[in-house]
Chain A
Amino acid sequence: MGELRLMKGNEALAEAAIRAGVDGYFGYPITPQSEVIEYLMSEKPHERTGMVVLQAESEVASINMLYGGGGTGKKVMTSSSSPGISLMQEGLSYLAGAEIPCVVANVVRGGPGLGDIQPAQSDYFQSVKGGGHGDYRLFVIAPASVQEMSDFVPLAFDVAFKYRIPSLIVSDGLIGQMMEKVELFDPIPRLTDEEVIARYPWATNGKPKGKERRILTSLDLDPHKMERHNWALQEKYKLIEENETRFELIGCDDAEYIIVAYGSSSRIAQKSIQLARKKGIKVGLLRLITLWPFPKKPIEEFVKNGIKGFLTVEMSAGQMIEDVKLVVEGRAKVEHFGRYGGVIHSPEEVLEALEQKLIGG
């Protein structure tokens, strides 16, 4: 068993970065995730593993540092919260275009604008629908516990390097700030320069002797070549949809209704389900682990098996519900419930919404 610790979600993410063999973290403070860079700085990762930690002048700089560092084949990471992630959208588009692996964590807070510093899930559209310009996708994964704040870091890197795609870990101020028991994974050693050079022939870390130099760019002025590049990206995204979709089913076997939720909302919904069961309402939880690729299959299965309805629960005005509806295609009732702008719904509120919107309605 790995080392057990009581940690904040943000600290677990930071500790996981060191243990995952990250070579460089570049970040800019913002509530509610400043503990990430604070923890990293206090841990002296340059002494522990040789990891570089740099406080950048802005999130614009951080994300472009990921472009530079990731482009050399090194494991690079940043984290921020909603307004900072908005500033990174141009950079993410470039990273996706040039196919540079990296990991970005968003500890979401209420918006729009400066919003507040309380938990929210209102960056769903931005996370899974592009955010930046162009036809691109990110691998988007949503932890629901402090444990997963740790576990999803190496996972996000594995997918990022396997497919040369930026990975986005989407949590929120609740998971970032709360303390839970976490079992830390054993440290993965950082790759040596020689290993990086051997493993990633596409990386720009100095033209190998007797070989062609490498170029990382997202530009091609020839529209036909650019279309071919886009086709290749889409092929890759298809592969990721096939191989990397993740979800969890809780109490769904006999369920007549399904709550669809992710992250903090899925934790709250678990309690709502217990309350509902006590009242004899047969409801299960589909917990999304990856937000993109979106878990379409379980929803399709529920519809085929004649589910009576879905309630999407998210701390937003209703964003993820659109993707559920795209799968359901009108074959079952789909309703949304959520508090937002930084307000967290209670399990009772969720149950009430279930009763009113799906069962009574």
Chain B
Amino acid sequence: MAEITLQDIIKPENLVYQKTKLMTDKTLSYCPGCGHGTAHRLIMEVIEELGKENDTIGVAPVGCSVLAYEFMNVDMQEAAHGRAPAVATAIKRLWPGKVVFSYQGDGDLAAIGTAETIHACNRGERIVMVFINNGIYGMTGGQMAPTTLPNMKTATSPYGRDIDMMGNPLKMTELVSYLPGTYFVTRQAVHTPAAVRKAKRALRMAFQNQIDGKPGVSFVEIVSNCNSGWKMEPVQANTWMEENMFPFYQLGDIKVDGKLIDR
């Protein structure tokens, strides 16, 4: 049998997967194992598959993903900390035919930007909001976020989050699901191939809703790791996330087609 060379394999007909051209070739600025990069890729794949690369405007947050615009190869604006939903609101209102999404961390979306989040959701802006919940402020060095779990150690809760003193973790996604202006609300993860496939399906539904002119926000939370902030190895961080984050932040759809799911 003739020896098979690499050249024989690299042929268009053998192609099963390739990097979306909507991700730039820039090296991701994220820590190895971080979920941000995977989340970026999924959004870009969905936009490419929906044929919307020339009709999309994305809004990046302040947080580790502040440089999302370096990696996502579509028109992008970088918003002030927490204000992405207001920025996206105006873009969509002025260009109703375009696809508009915001991308935010938990500090950005659920602390400093709470008002913008709630009101964009309550007004029923026809945008996609992607929410990366890693339970911590990754960018600024691992301080407590509104989403930090009880007893979880961070730079500003060094002995663990004391609920009496520091308050409770905030389930922003459940909260917005009760608002009449949200059309699709789901919580996903991107730490395993199965989770990635589900998250991508959710993102596709979110963007499809917008393209179809469905009334309201499509809100996709992705529970993600922050191995640097959590001070863990990447694999250990994923295990910790499954054991601690997922029981508190339950994965799955919360609201579909404007109706709350009985969970």
Give A18 Cβ to nearest chain B Cβ, in Å. 16
How many angstroms between the C-alpha atoms of A219 and B69 in the bound complex? 11
Give A220 Cβ to nearest chain B Cβ, in Å. 10
Is the CB–CB distance between A68 and B59 below 8 Å? Answer: yes
Among A68, A208, A215, A218, point to the contact of B90 (Cβ < 8 A).
A68
How many angstroms between the C-alpha atoms of A197 and B153 in the bound complex? 49
Within 8 A of A (CB), among B7-49: none
Nearest B residue (CB) for A54: B93
Give B125 Cβ to nearest chain A Cβ, in Å. 10
Is the CB–CB distance between B87 and A64 below 8 Å? Answer: yes
0/1 string, A92-134, CB within 8 A of B gives 1: 0010001000000000000000000000000000000000000
Is A234 in contact with chain B by the CB < 8 A criterion?
Answer: no
0/1 string, A75-92, CB within 8 A of B gives 1: 010000000000000110
Is B80 in contact with chain A by the CB < 8 A criterion?
Answer: yes
Within 8 A of A (CB), among B86-142: 86-91, 93-95, 98, 115-116, 118-119
How many angstroms between the C-alpha atoms of A91 and B75 in the bound complex? 20
Of the listed stretches A199-207, A293-301, A345-353, chain B binds A199-207
Is B157 in contact with chain A by the CB < 8 A criterion?
Answer: no
- A-B contact count, CB below 8 Å? 127
- Given A23-B94, A64-B86, check contact A204 B79 (CB 8 Å): no
CB neighbours of B54 from chain A (8 A): 206-209
Is the CB–CB distance between A205 and B77 below 8 Å? Answer: no
- Given A61-B119, A64-B86, check contact A98 B95 (CB 8 Å): no
Within 8 A of A (CB), among B158-194: none
CB neighbours of A219 from chain B (8 A): 66-67, 78
CB neighbours of B217 from chain A (8 A): none
How many angstroms between the C-alpha atoms of A212 and B161 in the bound complex? 46
How many angstroms between the C-alpha atoms of A61 and B76 in the bound complex? 19
Among B53, B75, B88, B116, max chain A CB count under 10 A is at B75
- Given A24-B90, A193-B95, A213-B75, check contact A67 B80 (CB 8 Å): yes
Nearest B residue (CB) for A74: B94
Is the CB–CB distance between A65 and B69 below 8 Å? Answer: no
CB neighbours of B73 from chain A (8 A): 207, 213
How many angstroms between the C-alpha atoms of A276 and B59 in the bound complex? 58
CB neighbours of B69 from chain A (8 A): 215, 217
Is the CB–CB distance between B93 and A24 below 8 Å? Answer: yes
CB neighbours of A91 from chain B (8 A): 80, 83
Give A203 Cβ to nearest chain B Cβ, in Å. 8
Is the CB–CB distance between A205 and B83 below 8 Å? Answer: no
Is B257 in contact with chain A by the CB < 8 A criterion?
Answer: no
How many angstroms between the C-alpha atoms of A209 and B56 in the bound complex? 12
- Given A61-B115, A91-B80, A215-B76, check contact A206 B90 (CB 8 Å): no
Give B164 Cβ to nearest chain A Cβ, in Å. 31
Among B77, B89, B95, max chain A CB count under 10 A is at B77
- Given A60-B83, A219-B66, check contact A76 B78 (CB 8 Å): no
How many residues of A sit at the interface, in one of the four size bands? 35 or more
Is the CB–CB distance between A206 and B98 below 8 Å? Answer: yes
CB neighbours of B80 from chain A (8 A): 64, 67, 90-91, 94
Nearest B residue (CB) for A221: B67
Is B149 in contact with chain A by the CB < 8 A criterion?
Answer: no
Is the CB–CB distance between B75 and A76 below 8 Å? Answer: no
Is B254 in contact with chain A by the CB < 8 A criterion?
Answer: no
Among B83, B88, B98, max chain A CB count under 10 A is at B83
Is the CB–CB distance between B78 and A218 below 8 Å? Answer: yes
How many angstroms between the C-alpha atoms of A64 and B112 in the bound complex? 14
Is the CB–CB distance between A68 and B74 below 8 Å? Answer: no
Is the CB–CB distance between B57 and A57 below 8 Å? Answer: no
Is B233 in contact with chain A by the CB < 8 A criterion?
Answer: no
How many angstroms between the C-alpha atoms of A98 and B118 in the bound complex? 26
Is the CB–CB distance between A69 and B76 below 8 Å? Answer: no
Among A56, A60, A71, A219, max chain B CB count under 10 A is at A71
Give B95 Cβ to nearest chain A Cβ, in Å. 6
Is A66 in contact with chain B by the CB < 8 A criterion?
Answer: yes
CB neighbours of A54 from chain B (8 A): 89-90, 93
0/1 string, A146-167, CB within 8 A of B gives 1: 0000000000000000000000
CB neighbours of A58 from chain B (8 A): 115
Is the CB–CB distance between B56 and A206 below 8 Å? Answer: yes
Known contacts A204-B91, A205-B95, A213-B73; 11 additional CB pairs below 8 A are A24-B93, A56-B119, A57-B115, A57-B118, A65-B89, A68-B59, A69-B94, A98-B77, A193-B95, A204-B76, A218-B78
Residue numbers of A with Cβ under 8 A of B are: 23-24, 26, 52, 54, 56-58, 60-62, 64-69, 71-72, 74, 76, 90-91, 94, 98, 193, 204-209, 213-219
The 8 closest A-B pairs by CB, nearest first: A68-B87, A69-B90, A217-B78, A68-B90, A65-B90, A64-B83, A204-B75, A64-B86
